[in-house]
């Protein structure tokens, strides 16, 4: 077990995304992108917005050397000792010619079934149960003793990057293909949309099928697919101009108060 959590600075800040709240907001986002970049049409990469703990993994010459939480976006906590116990995290990239530096970002989470099984085991052992999969994943990785994280059914899904040296990136889609080749779990429901209308349809489709997914999501993320266009668009304050998080409406239900 570690004595305390160390902190480390991200080479490239882990920024938050601007939020959208419906399909129409995605079309408005597209209009802003096209106007700023002065282009008639933009291709987008669409993926689920995982409801987990954002993590950055740092590989040097193909080997995992450090793992950080998002923290405040500038500085995160070092959780390398815990991340090494997550079976879906490759300790060495699956390639003979790894990049000199490869910072991959993604989400640590628990599948719904694994979460239910964990809570059942916690209950049987007379221990505290977790409120939801996100809290369980975050609590598992923020332990000083890696043996606790090793006992938890954590998964890591990769989707983004920090600083990369020794690898040329052309599109978000080809980057995710590279992640899969390197040994990472990636989204099986991600899709490249040729237009904003297709991206809006993706949002509607995932919203209607979200409960069928094996993990929790709270929306979808729409990113400009072409990396050179991402670079051209740049950033607004603390958010990229080339991406938006299209959130789902909060779930609602009715209950009857039977007695007070």
pLDDT per residue as tens digits for the range 67-85:
999 999 999 999 999 999 9
- Distances from the Cα of 79 to the Cα of 94, 135, 136, 152, 188, angstroms: 22, 16, 15, 15, 27
**Pure H helices in 89-218:** 112-124, 133-141, 146-151, 172-181, 196-209
Give bridge partners of residue 69 from the DSSP assignment. 55
Threshold 0.85, pTM exceeds: yes
The pLDDT value given to residue 53: 95
Residues labelled as active-site residues: 49
Residues of the chain predicted below pLDDT 50: none
Q: How far apart are the first and last CA of the chain?
A: 47
Quick one: pLDDT at residue 251? 79
Residue 4 confidence (pLDDT): 79
Torsion angle, alpha carbons of 204, 188, 192, 182, to 10: 150
Instruction: Measure the CA angle with vertex 47, ends 45 and 51; round to 5°.
Output: 150
pLDDT value at position 253?
86
Contact 242, 33 (CB under 8 A): yes
Q: What distance in Å separates the CA atoms of residue 195 and residue 199, rounded to the nearest whole number?
A: 6
27: left (phi over 0), alpha (psi -120 to 50) or beta: alpha
| Tokens found for residue 60 | 């040097």
* pLDDT of res. 105: 98
* Sign of the torsion angle spanned by Cα atoms 210, 16, 160, 10: negative
The residues near 183 (Cβ < 8 Å, ≥ 6 apart) are 90, 93, 94
């Amino acid at each position: 077990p570690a004595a305390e959590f160390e902190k480390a600075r991200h080479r490239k800040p882990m920024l938050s995304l601007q939020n959208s709240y419906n399909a129409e907001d995605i079309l408005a986002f597209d209009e802003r992108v096209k106007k700023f970049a002065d282009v008639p049409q933009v291709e987008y990469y669409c993926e689920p917005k995982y409801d987990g703990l954002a993590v950055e993994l740092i590989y040097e010459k193909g080997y995992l050397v450090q793992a950080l939480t998002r923290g405040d976006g500038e500085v995160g906590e070092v959780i390398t000792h815990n991340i090494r116990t997550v079976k879906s995290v490759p300790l060495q990239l699956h390639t003979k010619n790894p990049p000199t530096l490869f910072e991959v970002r993604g989400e640590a989470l628990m599948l719904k079934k694994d979460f239910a099984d964990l809570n059942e085991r916690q209950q049987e052992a007379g221990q505290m149960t977790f409120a939801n999969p996100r809290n369980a994943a975050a609590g598992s990785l923020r332990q000083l003793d890696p043996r606790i994280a090793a006992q938890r059914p954590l998964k890591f899904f990769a989707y983004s990057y920090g600083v990369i040296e020794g690898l040329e990136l052309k599109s978000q889609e080809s980057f995710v293909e590279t992640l899969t080749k390197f040994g990472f779990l990636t989204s099986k429901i991600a899709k490249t949309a040729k237009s904003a209308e297709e991206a809006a349809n993706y949002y509607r489709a995932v919203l209607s099928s979200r409960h069928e997914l094996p993990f929790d999501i709270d929306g979808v993320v729409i990113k400009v697919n072409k990396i050179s266009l991402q670079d051209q668009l740049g950033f607004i304050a603390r958010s990229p101009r080339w991406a938006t998080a299209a959130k789902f409406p909060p779930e609602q239900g009715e209950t009857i108060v039977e007695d007070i």
